[in-house]
Structure 1
């Protein structure tokens, strides 16, 4: 007779996940009704004593209870969620800083930032996905906020829809934030200082869309003064930059100034120019965008253009709050979206 218990192991049973605490659990722990828990955690105007409020908050913390924002929105017919679809590009200069500041600014206005992780959705298909989360407001790029998407969101009960990008549209309030504005400002500065032969670095990869728009802006501004612009497609590597720097050692092929699209490329370019025996800005002036702290520490220190990201986040959050309250966009919007010029040694 074979003992089947020897040499065999039974199926491994994963331990059951602990049940997620509910508002009823919090009510039992605090010794109050579920209605009282709801009033405390949702900060309603219903009178609750401070002692009871603290007991409910302590119970929620002990149980690690997290309210279901979507369910709460369904019950109340409204929410304080501001939904922002993640950008199609994972690498956009200043994106993380903007979102961190936007999160703080919204919280100061009793709103909650919710990032929607699908980078591909747009138009009506995207609007269906965003509306399912019952946000109070949606903030997204004009390229994704099509007329059909905006109409669907409004029908779904989204109270405020704020678009961003250029050109502005007539069917929804728009924050006309244009990354190319930094390039225009840099080009105007170089022309004012006397540059008459320009070059523009055009990074590829994840930065390709922004850098192409900036190159187009440089060409437009320079054309008004009949100044030629050499386009330099490149990557962030010495091997990519070195050939063009080698060509620029010949004065006949050398621009007198370069707009480098962003500070990282400007810093690399200055390093390669100095390595090749060229002086900055005497032989070639260099201007970047982004105000990277390394640029200020560089020698020569980098001249740059940049947006004041915390200020943009402030006016965006303020505008969303104002739209929810039935008002117009923040009156400081136009000033907050202007890039600034930081003149240092490189150009």
Structure 2
């Protein structure tokens, strides 16, 4: 077997192929603008990269330089639904535009000092994770390991690191204020999913009940899965107007769309017989009929704000709170 063909191309190979120095190759591939390089030279280097199939070893480069442009985020320990996926995609795009590389770390459970050690081994420029997984001791370890920026997310700020206040449970509060406060419904119901969504479902239910009580409304709890069959026993009882709520908050848009179909199967129509509100502003909710009323936050703005905050922290600039980016709003459509 020809071992020369098995050898992985290096930056030295790119330099020889394009007729430039290895330093020039590094400047071109890292987007450095502190060394004047002609467009012709840049094109020649990039053409050699394509011809040789060269891919830089980011970890080795970080070890040599003592710093990197990697922003590492441990995989969230929640299902990657529409909202989370939209933020991850937007964050990846926003960081790339600022010369940083977004890397998801696959371990959903690691945290504390153990997690921090694992994350620091990749020599990231920044870590973005939630307050539950990165305490003061873990943050101190990351900083000693040379991580330039640690940005955390959580329902409340912490004293040991800049914190973006994520309050997605406020979507439930917004739904209750709309249904009971603005629409005047007094008998409400709330879907509470189980399994991997159980923790989030319980939190959202608690917020919804509290806000509804403040508006003078009662709430019926409906435990369910993302299936029509899990809803039918309760919905069958709702055929009786005396047992039927005026409106339902369905946890999110996926559950809301399943709920609307299940209501049809028991002969109830939305919004004539019962109003339905979801959360997250799923695109499908604006297409199917009845068009779905939903509560949401500005996901692209949140992603852009996080990317800019991380970029500022990496550059040694102070953190500026993201403020109203997480404020929920109601998108009113036909279902409520």
Please report the TM-score for the alignment, with normalisation by the length of structure 2.
0.93
Runs of 4+ in 1 over 4 A off after TM superposition: none
Question: Does structure 2 conserve the Cα–Cα contact (< 8 Å) formed by 1:199 and 1:259?
Answer: yes
CA RMSD of aligned residues (A): 2.0
Q: Based on CA coordinates, which of the two structures has the bigger radius of gyration?
A: 1
Question: Does structure 1 conserve the Cα–Cα contact (< 8 Å) formed by 2:70 and 2:103?
Answer: yes
Query: Which residue number in structure 2 is paired with residue 234 of structure 1?
Result: 224
Query: Which residue number in structure 2 is paired with residue 311 of structure 1?
Result: 301
The one of 271, 289, 300 equivalent to 2:279 is: 289
Q: Equivalent residues in 2 for 1:204-223 (5 A)?
A: 204-223=194-213
Q: Equivalent residues in 2 for 1:148-167 (5 A)?
A: 148-167=137-156
The one of 13, 17, 21 equivalent to 1:25 is: 13
Q: Equivalent residues in 2 for 1:167-182 (5 A)?
A: 167-182=156-171
CA shift for structure 1 position 17: 7.8
Query: Which residue number in structure 1 is paired with residue 234 of structure 2?
Result: 244
Note closer, same or farther for the CA distance 1:222–1:54 as it changes in structure 2 (3 Å cut).
Answer: same
Task: Determine helix, strand or coil for the equivalent of 2:191.
Answer: strand
Task: Determine helix, strand or coil for the equivalent of 2:276.
Answer: strand
The one of 10, 23, 30 equivalent to 1:42 is: 30
Query: Which residue number in structure 1 is paired with residue 129 of structure 2?
Result: 140
Name which of structure 1's ranges 90-99 and 202-211 shifts more when overlaid on structure 2: 90-99
Question: Does structure 1 conserve the Cα–Cα contact (< 8 Å) formed by 2:188 and 2:245?
Answer: yes
Question: Does structure 2 conserve the Cα–Cα contact (< 8 Å) formed by 1:197 and 1:228?
Answer: yes
The CA distance in 1 between the partners of 2:167 and 2:225, in whole Å, is 23
Task: Determine helix, strand or coil for the equivalent of 1:310.
Answer: helix
CA shift for structure 1 position 328: 3.2
Note closer, same or farther for the CA distance 1:199–1:42 as it changes in structure 2 (3 Å cut).
Answer: same
CA shift for structure 1 position 148: 1.5
**Structure 2 unaligned residues grouped into runs of 5+:** none
Query: Which residue number in structure 2 is paired with residue 256 of structure 1?
Result: 246
- The Cα offsets for residues 13-60 of structure 1, whole Å up to 9 and x where unpaired, read as 9x9982211111112212233233223323442344443333222212
Task: Determine helix, strand or coil for the equivalent of 1:94.
Answer: helix
The CA distance in 2 between the partners of 1:51 and 1:296, in whole Å, is 48
The CA distance in 2 between the partners of 1:198 and 1:328, in whole Å, is 45
The number of residue pairs the alignment matches comes to 334
CA shift for structure 1 position 298: 2.9
Question: Does structure 2 conserve the Cα–Cα contact (< 8 Å) formed by 1:86 and 1:116?
Answer: yes
The CA distance in 2 between the partners of 1:283 and 1:90, in whole Å, is 32
CA shift for structure 1 position 309: 1.2
Query: Which residue number in structure 1 is paired with residue 178 of structure 2?
Result: 189
The CA distance in 1 between the partners of 2:105 and 2:62, in whole Å, is 17
Name which of structure 1's ranges 78-87 and 35-44 shifts more when overlaid on structure 2: 35-44
**Structure 1 unaligned residues grouped into runs of 5+:** 1-12
The CA distance in 2 between the partners of 1:159 and 1:317, in whole Å, is 15
Query: Which residue number in structure 2 is paired with residue 4 of structure 1?
Result: none
- The Cα offsets for residues 256-295 of structure 1, whole Å up to 9 and x where unpaired, read as 1110001111112122223322232243211111212222
Query: Which residue number in structure 2 is paired with residue 298 of structure 1?
Result: 288
CA shift for structure 1 position 91: 3.3
